[in-house]
Amino acid sequence: QRMKDELREHHLLMTNDLTGVLPLTLDNLSSLTYCECVTKEVLRLAPVAGLTTRIATRDTMVDNTKIHRGQTVFIAIHNINTDTRYWHHADPQQFAPERFLAEDQNYPQFAMIPFGGGHRACIGQELAWLE
C-alpha cells in the first residue's frame, strides 16, 4: 500500500482510463524513495545470480579458513545479503523495505551484491535498476 501511495502522490499510478498519469522519467524516478527501497529489498532477498566466483590473488585467511593464491572462491550472494553482521534493522531473512530508510541505509559496500561487485560487476546493473 505504501508503494501505491507514493506512486499516486507523484501521479505515476496507472488508472483504468490512463488519465492524469505522468510518464516515468529519470527525474520522477529518483523521487520514488520507497519504491527504490522495495527494489533493493527484492534484490537483497532474491538476487539475480545465486553465486559469484573469484580467484584468490594471494594467500589469506577468512574466518579461520586458509585460502591459497590461485584458489577459486565461491561466494554465496544470498548468504552475504542476509548476514546478521551487516543487516541490523529487522530480521535479515524477512522482507522489510524500511531497512533502507533506517539503520541499514548505510550498509557496508559489499553487504549487498545482487550484480556482483568491484570491477567485475555486471555491466548492465544501471540499466537493470532503471527497469
Rounded Cα gap, residues 112 and 47, in angstroms: 9
Rounded Cα gap, residues 73 and 77, in angstroms: 12
The residues near 105 (Cβ < 8 Å, ≥ 6 apart) are 99
pLDDT at 64: 94
The whole-model pTM stands at: 0.77
- Segment-wise mean pLDDT, segments of 10 residues, the chain, 131 residues: 71 58 71 87 91 94 95 94 92 94 88 84 82 72
pLDDT at 12: 59
pLDDT at 26: 74
Closest-CA residue to 129 (of 26, 57, 53):
26
C-alpha grid cell, residue 111: 553487504
Residue pair 130/29 in contact by the 8 Å Cβ criterion: yes
Residue holding cell 590473488?
Answer: 57
